[in-house]
Amino acid sequence: MTADGGGTSRSVGAAETAGADGAGQAARGGGAPEDAAGRTGGGARADGPAELDPPADEGGDPLALRLEALILGAERRYTPFQAARAAGVSMDLAARFWRAMGFADIGQAKALTEADVLALRRLAGLVEAGLLSEPMAVQVARSTGQTTARLADWQIDSFLEGLTEPQEPGLTRAEITYPLVELLLPELEEFLIYVWRRQLAAATGRVVQAQDDAEMVDRRLAVGFADLVGFTRLTRRLEEEELGELVEAFETTAADLVAAHGGRLIKTLGDEVLYAADDAGTAAEIGLRLIETLSHDETMPELRVGMAFGTVTTRMGDVFGTTVNLASRLTSIAPKDAVLVDGALAQELLRSGDAPKSEAEVAAALAAAEAEGTVAEATKYRFALQPMWQRPVRGLGVVEPWLLTRREQG
């Protein structure tokens, strides 16, 4: 789990056979495992990353090695076998952790640091103390690795690359990178920890408010998809840079609107975003805001939104289940610049008083209030719902979509 000559993270070799713990390895004289690449033995995972040629200990690019040492806070010192032994864990468990974090096999190159040993020791310690099961510890490694890998890629591709454009003639990007990373690293690290703690506090608050233990995992949520119309055609017409700018603008706008109005952005898929909210009213407001905001941007194609309400399974920050599938299907059949919702979400809006059961009911309430000289309760409604034709939806049977619109007040 370290950098090759280009500074890209790599991982340890796969496991030895089950039962070959640190003591057993030491008894064999501290040499490399019989199959450091993990092609045999109980710890090998068929779905792990492909084995890479190990990076040379001394033959890499000097600047890349200096940057690696700066970022990791230590120099290469251990082979994967030595790191596992120093941490007091088996190669099997070490390989499972490192692969879960997303690092590819490096055989038995001397490429790991004290930080790698400490990380191994901490995860294994949580398992030994009974705070985490071994599968849960692997999930922690995987979720952390996947999240931070995307963050690191974004920072290098967009943020760092732009900042290291040479400002003076004769200076190369490589010459600028080291002092810039040296200045930014502690600040970005502190900010990352701050945001993580804030997000952890918010997520914990949502979970403990669940009504029972089952709801902590399988919760009732409103789920929405927002999809740019005709994106495939745009990919053929726009230059790559223009397409990238459009996607970034869409994702940024969507992320800001979802967060500002109380939802949670689950993931972005280029031309599509998936978000969730604890209640139907919040999800409905976000869906309509997305339509209203992007329809005023001439650079953006039309948008369509589909939403559903029901039980959702959450895993590693993502959401799964029939409710999510239904929201996706509704998005695919929604008219341009319109929001379709399922019957369950429509009923939630009626129950909460965010939408009237019918416009006839609203008219009657307004008439009664006018006769009595009072303010009609009907003016409180935020949304209007119009039933659409029932139709079959692939994999989900026949559904009755509802067209969601914003109800004009007065």
- Distances in Å between the Cα of 13 and the Cα atoms of 21, 114, 251, 345, 382 are 15, 17, 37, 49, 58
pLDDT tens per residue across span 101-147: 988 888 888 989 999 999 999 999 999 999 999 988 988 898 888 88
φ, ψ at 294 (rounded to 5°): -75, -25
Which class in CATH covers the domain with range 219-350+389-393? alpha beta
pLDDT at 18 over 60: no
Amino acid 375: pLDDT: 58
pLDDT tens per residue across span 252-295: 899 999 999 989 999 888 889 999 999 999 999 999 999 999 98
Amino acid 125: pLDDT: 92
Confidence of residue 374 (pLDDT cuts 50, 70, 90): low
Query: Residue 183's CB: how many other CB atoms inside 10 A?
Result: 10
φ, ψ at 245 (rounded to 5°): -65, -40
pLDDT at 52 over 60: no
For residue 72, the SS3 value is: helix
Q: Which stretch of DSSP H or E encloses residue 406?
A: strand 402-406
Structure-token pair, residue 128:
């030994």
**211 contacts 203 by C-beta, under 8 angstroms:** no
Of 9-13, 195-199, 312-316, 387-391, the range with the lowest mean pLDDT is 9-13
Q: Beta partners for 393?
A: 397
Nearest alpha-carbon partner for 352 in 250, 282, 304: 282
Structure-token pair, residue 285:
């407001």
The DSSP code for 380 is G
State the DSSP string of 317-370: TEEESHHHHHHHHHHHHPPTTEEEE-HHHHHHHHHHTSS-S-HHHHHHHHHHHH
Q: Are strands 272-277 and 218-228 parallel, antiparallel or unpaired?
A: antiparallel
The mean pLDDT of 286-313, rounded to a whole number, is 92
The mean pLDDT of 321-340, rounded to a whole number, is 93
pLDDT at 54 over 80: no
Q: Read off the amino acid at residue 399.
A: V
Structure-token pair, residue 107:
């055989």
Amino acid 239: pLDDT: 80
Nearest alpha-carbon partner for 105 in 49, 39, 35, 146: 49
